Amino acid sequence: MKIIDAHMHFYNIPGFDELAKKAGHENTAEHYLRACKENNVVLSIAMGNDSEEPSLFGGTTPRVPNLSGKFDYKNYNQPPEIAYCAGVKSEELTLENAKATAQEFERYVLTPQCVGIKLYPGYNHVYVYDPVHFPLYELAEKYNLPVVIHTGDTATSTAILKYAHPLTVDEVAVRYPNVRFVIAHCGNPWFADATEVAAKNENVFLELSGLLGGQFAGDIFYQKHQSYFSYLRMWLDYLDRYDKVIYGTDWPLINIKSYIEVMKLVIPTIHHQEFFYDNAMRIFPKVRELLK
Ligand SMILES: [Zn+2]
């Protein structure tokens, strides 16, 4: 079975090197691509981490991946197996620069490898429904791109959880019914809230990356955390829409092989094809072109 990893990071900073080691990996492009080959991961969607890209219109420029050298949006220089979501610097957005920021993003969105937009509301201390984001949602609608939102637990204690709560996605989902919103990390640990927002809104989807860190034997880990996974499964079954749930790792946080093993135990076998591949193709339509 082919796999699409709909959430990982392709970024070169020291902290990521440590995380990769803990997960039994190396934070290099060569190592990652080899691990993908071994595990039949045919395409990965990197969440943009940061950038010092110059602005052309007076807006803020997207966060991008850079593990294969300094990012070049026009002449894409990351591996062809890596697509990306342009990350929003919400902390730098104002009502004055919001429209110009959408113009900056449009330059990236027009290239084949930019397949979505990513928000980090908890880290940036800005609600997803803050009007500074509206021009970006209009851009997402115009180009039929999904908007991925980091929800739930954060990696740093300077983040503020109220901004990252999955219930906040309900408000933008209602305001922009033609935009697909992806609740990253399924709102971990607020699974009930995340699944309810996806149950109520046809345009909201769940992504299961980054629920656990490190390297482990999938079945032993699954047994050790049986009640956690049963709880997650209970809410996924409550939703009963496995066409709305997608696979991701949050690499370099997680061992790729281990995570595939665990997720195969969490998701009913009959839905593996949708979960690991088909749903991502539908939610991120540009991926289809890249995989041709
Ligand atoms: Zn992530």
Among the ranges given (15-19, 78-82, 113-117, 182-186), the one the predictor scored with the smallest mean pLDDT: 15-19
Q: Which among 84, 93, 107 is positioned nearest to 59, based on CA atoms?
A: 93
**Three-class secondary structure of residue 87 per DSSP:** strand
Confidence band, pLDDT 50/70/90 cuts, at residue 50: confident
Paired with 8 in beta bridges are: 46
Distance 144 CA to ligand 1 centre (A): 22
Confidence band, pLDDT 50/70/90 cuts, at residue 278: very high
Distance 9 CA to ligand 1 centre (A): 6
Distance 254 CA to ligand 1 centre (A): 11
Number of other CB atoms surrounding residue 64 within 10 Å: 27
Distance 8 CA to ligand 1 centre (A): 6
Distance 257 CA to ligand 1 centre (A): 18
Structural element, H or E, at residue 5: strand 3-8
Q: How many Å apart are CA 226 and CA 234, to the nearest integer?
A: 12
Distance in Å from the first CA to the final CA of the chain: 17
Q: What is the mean pLDDT of residues 73-89?
A: 95
Confidence band, pLDDT 50/70/90 cuts, at residue 233: very high
**Statement: residue 219 has pLDDT above 90:** no
pLDDT at position 224: 86
Q: What is the mean pLDDT of residues 142-152?
A: 98
Query: What's the CATH number for 3-290?
Result: 3.20.20.140
* DSSP code per residue over 222-291: HHHTHHHHHHHHHHHHHHT-GGGEE----TTSB-HHHHHHHHHHHS-GGGHHIIIIIHHHHHSTHHHHHT
Report whether the peptide linkage leading into residue 189 is cis, meaning its omega lies within 30 degrees of zero: yes
* Torsion sign over Cα 66, 208, 155, 261: negative
How big is the CA angle at 150 (ends 125 and 239), to the nearest 5 degrees?
A: 130
Distance 241 CA to ligand 1 centre (A): 23
Distance 15 CA to ligand 1 centre (A): 13
Q: Regarding predicted confidence, which is higher, 47 or 225?
A: 47
Tokens for 93, please give them: 């957005």
Distance 210 CA to ligand 1 centre (A): 7
**Statement: residue 205 has pLDDT above 90:** yes
pLDDT at position 272: 98
Q: What is the mean pLDDT of residues 198-208?
A: 98
Q: What are the tens digits of pLDDT across the range 241-274?
A: 999 999 999 999 999 999 999 999 999 999 999 9
Q: What are the tens digits of pLDDT across the range 164-193?
A: 999 999 999 999 999 999 999 999 999 999
> What is the average pLDDT value for the chain, to the nearest integer?
95
Distance 213 CA to ligand 1 centre (A): 12
Distance 260 CA to ligand 1 centre (A): 17
Confidence band, pLDDT 50/70/90 cuts, at residue 223: confident
pLDDT at position 203: 98
Listed residues: CB within 5 A of ion ligand 1 = 250
Distance 248 CA to ligand 1 centre (A): 9
**Statement: residue 214 has pLDDT above 80:** no
* Residue partners of 82: CB distance under 8 A and separation at least 6: 10, 43, 44, 45, 46, 65, 68, 113
pLDDT at position 14: 82
Q: At what angle do helices 191-200 and 168-175 cross, to 10 degrees?
A: 10
pLDDT at position 222: 85
pLDDT at position 28: 95
